[in-house]
Amino acid sequence: MANIKEIAKLAGVSISTVSRVLNDHPYVSDEKRARVLETMKQLKYARNMNAVHLITGKTKSAAIMLPIINHAYFSALMEGIGGEALANHYRLVLCQTGYEQDKEREVLEMLRNREIDGIIILSTATPLEQIEEYCRYGPIVCCLEAGKRAFSSIFIDHSRAFRAAMEYLVAKGHRHIGFTVGRMDGPSSRARLEAYREVLSELGEPLREEWIIDGCVDMEDGAAIMKQLAAMSKRPSAMLVTGDHAAAGMLWEAGKLGISVPEQLAIIGFDNQPISGLLGLTTIDNRLMDMGAEAFRILFNHIQEPDQEPVQREVDFMFIERTSV
Amino acid sequence: MANIKEIAKLAGVSISTVSRVLNDHPYVSDEKRARVLETMKQLKYARNMNAVHLITGKTKSAAIMLPIINHAYFSALMEGIGGEALANHYRLVLCQTGYEQDKEREVLEMLRNREIDGIIILSTATPLEQIEEYCRYGPIVCCLEAGKRAFSSIFIDHSRAFRAAMEYLVAKGHRHIGFTVGRMDGPSSRARLEAYREVLSELGEPLREEWIIDGCVDMEDGAAIMKQLAAMSKRPSAMLVTGDHAAAGMLWEAGKLGISVPEQLAIIGFDNQPISGLLGLTTIDNRLMDMGAEAFRILFNHIQEPDQEPVQREVDFMFIERTSV
DNA sequence: TTGTAAGCGTTATCAG
DNA sequence: CTGATAACGCTTACAA
């Protein structure tokens, strides 16, 4: 395959001139530019980007670290990231980790090995201190609340969002409230639990372990949990659910079990996914697409101007009132 | 940052020996290997993969070309691809094209520019002849029926699947059948239309243009189309719907409009997504995750052994009978 | 405006 | 088993 050298020889110019044409540099005469372009076409020249990556030290690509691809939450974030990456001619490398720490480390190592210019972390099981160690190799942006760190983060205040939802339920007369999370040891789950404890103690209600349900991720989990709730001798009158798809599963299963929503069980979802609009699910919009897009913008900015201070950007959530409470 | 040369100097060996250690080559004495490894740790050595990519001519990464990230159909395919890529230590570059041909061309150009070792195309708007031109630069696998081509493909027989669904409906007494597609000019839509025509003419039923509905992609489209159907003076007694999420949208909207399923309208979905199990939707399982995984395997095989003949692999679909017909 | 030449950090070849 | 040395294909001072 033809390379820059052959083009130069055939066009009767120097290698640098060819390179200049390739990079749209000024200071190359129209005549030579035309000649170079012509020979490129003749020889079907294709630039070897790996050589460019090597010499420039950049790859114009960023990794997305996420536990699982096939989930609406991550899809929505990715959609936002993807749009912005496209606009800036950046490639996105999809890194599915399944929350395995060695897989997650491999992604971080990619940064060290200059395979990518930066990383966007959607969710992780690796301790944040360990992630910070990689900041020296390139920018990292986390889509979760991480406090003041060496990397940037973008997030909604889960504690406040959860509180808002709780207070809404309380105002509607609920005192027996349960909630589900996807992974109890995640940071947003911890924030929710804390908010839950606070509101409960303000209400003077005891904390019932069986109303805190872990491992609620997708629609099928939601349905299973609804069955579980139905079998309880004393069940909550309202549930705050991990995400809208899980909530949709609960809603559907409730219908099958003859439990009416919101009369017998109020449900609040999360994420404002399309399905929630369709089902009339009250939910909290955390603006996933915007968040993804902004995450990429922050990363891109760090790549363009290194040595900038990391940022902690909070995204406002919105309470979407519909008919499931 | 330390490079192989510095390691060599400090360890008191040659560059080649360091490279051999790096690549787990035999013929390196334990003593030197240990010394190299030790200095690598001291200097926090990180390999520059771009140099490796340049000299080896491989990047161990493949592109996924798809129109939109945030859709269950593509998510399921990607999940399958992602698992297999992970197992083979391959990176996946996500290329969202929105069915824009110039964006799609950029992905193909990545192959020419050696940025990637191969491409998996999930859906495309580019004429297949144009895609074939890029096969000289590296392997391409399409997840759609493409006939005998220079690239490999993996697919289900949409024509046969559609026919099976039609015949099932006919056996249940339906004669007024409509269908939706996502994009009328896609190959699977054409296959469906053809099968539709055939069965209709066998039945002696006229083809009613208004019962063929284009642009039905997601849940919200399904809901909107249900409204549209409800407003028809004469509507079909059964619908074959693009995908399960769209079908779910129809189902939900039907409930709101007081149209009972399957009594007043039978619905068959597509893809056997989790939502269809939950809603009791009769559907056709086209085994998206398996298809994605197999697509990667075919690609990987082509990468490992170039100059192999392209394959056309058909995946069997399964008719999943539930309660929406 | 153009050309020369020095890298970028590896792997591959080939001779010891 | 080990080590020079030549690629890989490009960008970028620097000099003209």
pLDDT tens per residue, range B52-102: 999 999 999 999 999 999 999 999 999 999 999 999 999 999 999 999 999
Yes or no: say if B212 and B178 are a contact pair by the CB < 8 Å rule.
yes
The shortest C-alpha distance from A103 to chain B (Å) reads 9
Closest protein residue to C8 using CA and C1' atoms? A55
Instruction: Identify the DSSP state of A134.
Output: G
Task: Detail the DSSP E strand segments found in A201-257.
Answer: 212-213, 238-240
pLDDT value of residue B280: 93
Nearest CB among B86, B94, B113 relative to A92 is that of B94
Look at residue A2 and tell me whether its pLDDT is greater than 90. no
Q: Is the pLDDT of residue A109 over 90?
A: yes
B275 touches chain A (CB under 8 A): yes
Question: How much is the average pLDDT of A22-43?
Answer: 91
Low-confidence ranges of chain B (pLDDT < 50): none
pLDDT for A187 equals 85
Closest CA to A67 of A190, A217, A189, A220: A217
Contact B36, B7 (CB under 8 A): yes
Strand residues in chain A grouped as ranges (E): 61-66, 91-96, 118-121, 140-142, 152-155, 177-180, 212-213, 238-240, 266-268, 283-285, 312-314, 318-320
Could you tell me if B95 lies within 8 Å of chain A, comparing CB atoms? yes
What's at A300, amino acid-wise? F
Query: pLDDT grade, residue A18 (50/70/90)?
Result: very high
- pLDDT for A103 equals 96
Quick one: how far is CA A57 from the chain centroid?
Answer: 26
| Number of Cβ atoms within 10 Å of the Cβ of A276 | 26
> Exposed (0-12), middle (13-18) or buried (19+): which is B60, by Cβ within 10 Å?
middle
C-alpha angle A41/B99/B196, rounded to 5°? 125
C-alpha A169/C-alpha B25 separation (Å) is 65
Specify the 3-state DSSP secondary structure of A259: coil
Mean pLDDT, to the nearest integer, of A109-135? 96
Q: Does the pLDDT value for residue A306 go beyond 90?
A: no
Residue ranges of domains in chain B, CATH in brackets: 4-47 (1.10.260.40), 56-156+288-315 (3.40.50.2300), 158-285 (3.40.50.2300)
Whether A69 and chain B come into contact, CB under 8 Å, resolves to: yes
Position A146 pLDDT exceeds 80: yes
Nucleotide nearest to B5 (CA to C1'): C9
Split at pLDDT 50, 70, 90, the class of A178 is: very high
Question: pLDDT, tens digit, for every residue of A65-92?
Answer: 999 999 999 999 999 999 999 999 999 9
User: Which chain D nucleotides are covered by protein, judged by CB under 7 A?
Assistant: 1-13
For chain A, percent of residues with pLDDT exceeding 70: 100
- Are the beta carbons of A114 and B50 separated by less than 8 Å? yes
Q: How far apart are CA B269 and CA B280, in angstroms?
A: 10
Distances (CA, A) of A228 to A206, A221, A240, A251, A253: 20, 10, 15, 13, 11
Bases on strand C under 7 Å from any protein CB: 1-13
Residue A142 above 90 pLDDT?
yes
pLDDT of residue B153: 97
